[in-house]
Amino acid sequence: MFLLTASYYFYMSWKWEFGFLMLFTSLINYYAGLKISSTKEQGKRKLWLTLALLVSLGILVYFKYANFFIAEGTALLHTLGINIRQSYLNVILPVGISFFTFQALSYSIDVYKGKMHVEKDIIQFLLFVSFFPQLVAGPIERATNLLDQFKKEQHFSTDRFLEGSKLILWGLFKKVVIADRLASYVQQIYVSPETYGGSTLFLATFFFAFQIYCDFSGYSDIAIGSAHILGFKLMQNFNLPYLATSIKDFWHRWHISLSTWFSDYVYKPLGGNRVSKSRWIFNILVVYLVSGLWHGANWTFIAWGAIFGI
């Protein structure tokens, strides 16, 4: 209960209204899990899973993609000669909504597949979705890993405190000393790239690669270290990705929790590689296009996903 209160306080300290959004997503998946596990009828089980998916993803799409779809739809109508006034929804993107939505959905899907026992303790489940160290930027945890850890009584450990603190300090170093210093140079160049020469643009792009890595992996280190101090083991999220030997190997090392999420809940349900070659290629492209859209509501992200998929 203390950790749950702390997690909601942490999340609501930015904008308190969004705490109720996270609570609603959590309750939908908690209730769907109970219903899925309590019935043997496949039709009803699928109905409750579908409800959890539609509601959870519907909230995510509304807050993250509504204005993108409105803009693209308006542009398409203009192309067809139908002129309508373009208007946007006044919505603010809740911090970490993609992360806690995917985390909650992984539970419902795993219960449906029989990979996860249903969680009847609502406090435990709400804490699983909202656990503050990894709430706003991952790693995206699975119920099979994290939920059972909350059931064990934790005691303070000096060794664990020192290990976790070292990881937190290393993450802060990567974020504050490396990423933020590189960002001041990169942003200056990227604001007006047309005014700089090729060598400067190349250097800015080279720096950006390390900026984004140290920024993101630094946060993951802080999250994993914070959880470790409290006695909880989060999954590894980065494993020296720039030493990868191929694009496939890169995605086994970069944002591992997201890559494995898409593999388990999108790629494999589509058939994975156990299908015809054309369907296999289609499955890969779908996963990376969705991954690109997950990263941002913009055609540049979709193009980015398509490049990796190809």
| DSSP per-residue string spanning 200-241 | HHHHHHHHHHHHHHHHHHHHHHHHHHHHHHHT--PPP--S-G
Q: Which tens digits make up the pLDDT trace of 162-216?
A: 999 999 999 999 999 999 999 999 999 999 999 999 999 999 999 999 999 999 9
Active site residue 295: yes
pLDDT digits (tens, 9 = 90+) for 211-252: 999 999 999 999 999 999 999 999 999 999 999 999 889 999
Burial of 264 (0-12, 13-18, 19+ CB in 10 A): middle
- Catalytic one of 117, 155, 252, 295: 295
Q: What is the pLDDT of residue 165?
A: 98
Q: Which residues of the chain have pLDDT under 70?
A: 86
Is residue 269 within 8 Å of 236, Cβ to Cβ?
no
Q: Assign 168 to helix, strand or coil.
A: helix
CA angle at 213 for the pair 200 and 263, rounded to the nearest 5°: 125
Give CA–CA dist 239/214, Å, rounded: 12
Per-residue pLDDT, 87? 74
Q: What is the pLDDT of residue 79?
A: 78
Quick count: other Cβ atoms within 10 Å of Cβ 81? Answer: 6
Please tell me the predicted confidence (pLDDT) of residue 301: 93
Quote the CA–CA distance of 183 and 246 in Å, as a whole number.
27
Q: Would you state the structure tokens that stand for residue 213, as one six-digit string?
A: 């890595």
Alpha carbon distances (Å) from 230 to 2, 162, 226: 12, 12, 7
What confidence score (pLDDT) does residue 83 get?
76
- E strands, the chain, in order: none
Question: How far is 297 from 293, CA to CA, in rounded Å?
Answer: 6
